[in-house]
Amino acid sequence: MEKSLTLAELKSPVQYVKGIGPSRAKTLAKAGVQTCLDLLYYFPRTYQDRTKFSLIPFLKDGEIATVKGRVISVQETRPKPGLHLLKVIISDGRGRAEGVWFNQPFLKKQFSSGKEVIFSGRVSRRFGPIQFSNPDWEILDEDKDPLHTGRIVPVYPLTGNLTQRAFRRKMKDIIDSYAPMVPEFLPPSFLAKFGLMPLNLALSQIHFPESLKQLQEAKRRFIYEELLLLQLGFALRWKERKARGGISFKTEGSLTQKFLSSLPFPLTEGQSQALEDIRKDMRSTRPMNRLLQGEVGSGKTVLACYAMLVAVQNGYQAAFMAPTEILAGQHFLVLQEFLRDFPLKVALITSGTQKNQKEEIREALKEGKIDIAVGTHALIQEEVSFRKLGLVVIDEQHRFGVMQRKILKEKGENPDMLVLTATPIPRSLALTIYGDFDISTIKGLPSGRQPITTYLVNTSREKDVYDFLKKEIIKGRQAYIVCPRIGEEGKEDESLAAQAALKLRDYLQKEVFPDFQLGLLHGRMPTSEKEEVMRLFKQNEIQILVSTSVIEVGIDVPNASVMVIWNADRFGLAQLHQLRGRVGRGPYKSYCILLADPKNEDALKRLDVMVRTNDGFLISAEDLKIRGPGEFFGLEQHGTPELKVADLFLPETQKFLEDCREQAFLFSNEGKGLFKKFPLLKEMMEARFPFSSGLGEVG
């Protein structure tokens, strides 16, 4: 019976694994492989099925094929100085094929007449004889199974100077030596319930599968394992939060009643349902941890404002954190508008806030003189403290890391948390990213909102677009013109963008719209100037607002009916949808014109989606398909669980997730007892998903 590897052995540096050494360890470290366990879980990125042998005479030019035959000739030539050509001719009894290698004379000693070999690679029949240029090859040996051909061959995600052939050989030795000794850590009940392979066999079959069926079963084992570890982390975090207890707020009071009665519109059915979810959470003694997702313009900020008023009327403070200064500033302006007639103090704090003003705000927060603090990462600085923080609201949380969210929460005693996102996502993805959140979705838009007609127009037709704008403005409407984005999405160069916007505004005012009043808005402007521009625009004293993408959220001008976006192909789908959401807010027919000359297929796909639909959920799903989860959330999303095996695009992943989520919450009820029985389960969970570190101590 094989001995089991200890946890210490599994966590030992990879350089001490036989056959790796310091040099290969440095190269593997670049791919995130640090330990023996990492190496065992360094799965192939794809596989090549080389189990089917083709007959040489029937090979087609350009196809990928595998053939088996005996060596009948080995030839060396030097066509010119510095070029060595090795040609190995084989026969399968029906035809002949040549394996050709350039500048690899050392291979000659591997081949000799009569030896049975396998070639795999791309076929060439263009120059007379059938050739395989630099094929994968294998000398058949009765005592050894083929490794590089004649089987399902693993292809690894290699870096540096590692080659597939050499690394494959090393991995085969490592798997044969180590896999039988890796202890199983998943509960037997879980393996039995879902019919999963034991770990030893699964490791062997995912690296060097004996058949496609065995490969699929091994993958299935690791998908369930990965999703269970993730969902167990979420379940334990949920359990820990519940055990700590939170604030039980009284949701009815003078501030909330006044706020709801002051709204100029009735809440939609979706808003009302989400509002009831929030009320229920805030009345509970368990801290609220709710994700509120909904369309652009669906009214999420209204509900966030209500929740903050609940906290304030109970004697607590609220914090509202947004990922950028621009978004924080706009939320601040919106809240000021909502709460103009309320006896509350709302403050804005960002990295751009002047030093003396920042110090005043910090002192006022500490003393409890500020009821609602709106800000960016500046809110989580060590110098910022609250007298009595009761609620944390985070906008577009996927742009923040887990630790940033945690730091803000720790500025109070188990405050409630409400997360807003206008990027609706499929349930499978929501369970992956927000697994420890309760989720509310606002479906539908407030009454009176108009569907927006979207057009994709080539930049060469800008005159036609401006003529259309003139007609709308003569009717009494207003318009936005958004400048091209400068820099990567989410990382715009505000200084250059401001210059471009100023230049465009001056040109349009002088040459195109001399009879109308144009305004300018960009992120470099002081808050007071932004407020004045928006005041004039809302009063129709400015007919056309030339802007950078700072207007993507928080601006509500019902009279604006046209949104023109220059070089729309430079924007992401989510940002385009946000920008489009600035129009269609009144009773007037509204339009979004995408001025673009897309140069690649992805850009054209994005713009086509915008033209086809106004549905934010569909747009989000399409964006995810085009960009994939990593790019979809951007580089700033530190702490988002990265799935290495499970594919969120496969329909069956939803079922796997639901299975694992249900089982994880059942396991979490065992508390410490679970990890006493399965100590490696906790280690694997924390190693795979660091956010779960330290959980599981309750119960």
Which stretch of 154-168, 207-221, 302-316, 542-556 has the lowest confidence by average pLDDT?
542-556
For the stretch 611-644, pLDDT in tens is 998 887 778 777 766 665 544 444 334 445 678 8
Task: Report the pLDDT averaged over residues 449-465.
Answer: 91
Task: Report d(CA 647, CA 456) in Å as an integer.
Answer: 33
For 575, the enclosing helix (H) or strand (E) is: helix 573-580
Which stretch of 41-45, 451-455, 483-487, 536-540 has the lowest confidence by average pLDDT?
483-487
The full DSSP string for 139-174 is: E-BTTB--SSSSSEEEE----TT--HHHHHHHHHHH
For the stretch 332-379, pLDDT in tens is 888 988 898 899 999 999 877 888 888 999 999 999 999 999 998 888
Give the tokens for residue 101: 């290698």
Q: Please check whether residue 119 is in contact with residue 132, taking contact to mean a CB–CB distance below 8 angstroms.
A: yes
Task: Report d(CA 671, CA 239) in Å as an integer.
Answer: 9
For the stretch 245-259, pLDDT in tens is 889 999 999 999 999
Residue 220 has pLDDT above 90, yes or no: yes
pLDDT attached to residue 631: 46
Burial bucket for residue 153 (CB in 10 Å: 0-12, 13-18, 19+)? buried
Q: Which of 205-219, 225-239, 332-346 has the highest mean pLDDT?
A: 205-219
- Name the β-bridge partners of 153: 48
pLDDT attached to residue 686: 86
- Give, in degrees to the nearest 5, the angle at Cα 330 between 327 and 331: 85
Question: Which residue blocks in 198-268 are alpha helix, DSSP H?
Answer: 199-207, 212-244, 254-262
Q: Which amino acid is present at 438?
A: D
For the stretch 426-437, pLDDT in tens is 666 777 777 778
Q: Please check whether residue 370 is in contact with residue 312, taking contact to mean a CB–CB distance below 8 angstroms.
A: no
Percentage of the chain with pLDDT > 70? 90
pLDDT class for 194, splitting at 50, 70, 90?
A: very high
C-alpha distances out from residue 57 to 67, 97, 405, 527, 584, Å: 11, 9, 65, 77, 66
pLDDT class for 401, splitting at 50, 70, 90?
A: low
Whole-number average pLDDT of the chain: 86
pLDDT attached to residue 25: 87
Q: What is the CA radius of gyration of the chain?
A: 31
3-state secondary structure of 669: coil
The full DSSP string for 174-207 is: HHHHHGGGSPP-S-HHHHHHHTPPPHHHHHHHHH
Q: Please check whether residue 156 is in contact with residue 164, taking contact to mean a CB–CB distance below 8 angstroms.
A: yes
Model pTM score: 0.70
For the stretch 315-333, pLDDT in tens is 999 999 988 777 788 788 8
Give the tokens for residue 558: 């019902």
